[in-house]
Amino acid sequence: MRSVVQRVKRASVTVDGKIVGEISNGLLVLLAVGQEDSAGDMNWMVEKLVGLRIFEDEEGKMNRSVQDVGGEILMVSQFTLYGDCRKGKRPSFITAAQPEKAKLLFEKIVDDIRQRGLKVETGVFQAEMDVALINHGPVTILLDSEKKF
């Protein structure tokens, strides 16, 4: 499971000209599910997202999580994070999970984070989406449950 996590002042996702998800201070998470991902990968990702200390404390150090600051999360499914460009110029997506599995794990992650009391907005699975954000910092973190980076 892979994600790109951005600390944002605000973010939104639009489908067919209509805003379907919008947050203020918090995290924009672009999330991809891989073929081999399991409940263990999902739990690892939830723990990382909720506990990732990338918000500043009173001394200006990145020492607080989205949960600590009462932030919100905008989750957007993005299978292209599994694009492999090592050969040729056209990405291969063969290691990305099939849509049925990806949707199931994506929705479970959203539910698990909501159960921790955080506001979570989402895009629309498999839709063409426009994502807008103001990256605060900028702070952008890459996460991979296989710990490849």
**Is 78 considered catalytic here?**
yes
The one catalytic residue in 80, 98, 126, 140 is: 80
Catalytic residue at 98?
no
Cα separation, 5 vs 142, whole angstroms? 6
80: annotated active-site residue: yes
Q: Which of 6, 79, 106, 122 is catalytic?
A: 79
- Among the listed residues 6, 14, 78, 122, the single catalytic one is 78
Catalytic sites, residue numbers = 78-80
